[in-house]
Amino acid sequence: MLILASASPRRRELLAQAGFSFTVESADVNESLRDGEEPTAYMLRLAVEKAQAVFARHSESSGAPSMTASSSWVGSKNDPLIVLGADTSVVLDDEILGKPADAADAMRMLRRLSGRTHQVLTGVAAVTRAGVMSGVETTEVTFSEIPEAELAAYCATAEPLDKAGAYGIQGYATRWIPRIDGDYFNVMGLPIARTAKLIETALAECERRS
C-alpha cells in the first residue's frame, strides 16, 4: 500500500501518470527553518518528517517506524505500507524562496530570479517498516530577463501565490525559462524517475526483511 503524504495536486498527478496506485494523506509538521540549516538538509528533513508523521498514524504507537514490526498497521507481507513524503523549494544564493505572502512579495521574488540561474530542490523520502530511504534532487533553472509589464500582469493573478519562488514551470512563467539543467518534473514538485526508484528500493528492502 502506497500513501502520498502531500496535498499537492501536481505530485498526485505525476505519481498517477507514472502508473502508481496510492491514497493521499497530508502531513501536519512544523516547516520552520532551523538556525543554520542549509537548503538541502532542510528539504531532506521535511520530506522525512512528513512521511514519518503519516506512517505513525498507521502504527500502534508513536515514534520511529519499527524495524521488525509485522502487524497490519505496516501492511501485509505481500503489500507493505510505504509512505512517500516530498517537499520542494526554490533556492537562490543559498536562500530559500518559499511561497509569496502576496502579489508584492511575488514581484520581489521574480525580480530576483529575473536573468539568473537558480536551483529547485526536492527532498523525497520513503518510510516503511524497514526504515527510511531518502534523497534530494536538484535542478538548475535559468530565467531570461522578465519584462516589467509581463511581471505585473502575472503577479496580478492568483497563479504565483501558491508556488515556491512564485512560479510554476508548467504555467505562464514557462515563457521566461529558456533552459533547465536536470529533471523537469523535479521543478513541478516530484522527480518522478528518482521517486519510482526509491519506492522500488523500499519495497525490495521490505521483502528482504520479511
Positions marked catalytic? 87
Q: Are 45 and 124 in contact (CB under 8 A)?
A: no
**Cell, residue 165:** 519562488
Q: Count the Cβ atoms, other than its own, within 10 Å of residue 79.
A: 11
The three-point CA angle 92-127-190 to 5° equals 35
**Cell, residue 207:** 521483502
Maximum pairwise Cα distance, the chain: 60
Report which residue type is found at 98: G
Q: Residue 35: exposed, middle, or buried by beta-carbon count in 10 A (0-12, 13-18, 19+)?
A: exposed
CA–CA separation, 70 and 184 (whole Å): 38
Q: Count the Cβ atoms, other than its own, within 10 Å of residue 43.
A: 28
Q: Whose CA is closest to 136, among 209, 92, 195, 83?
A: 195
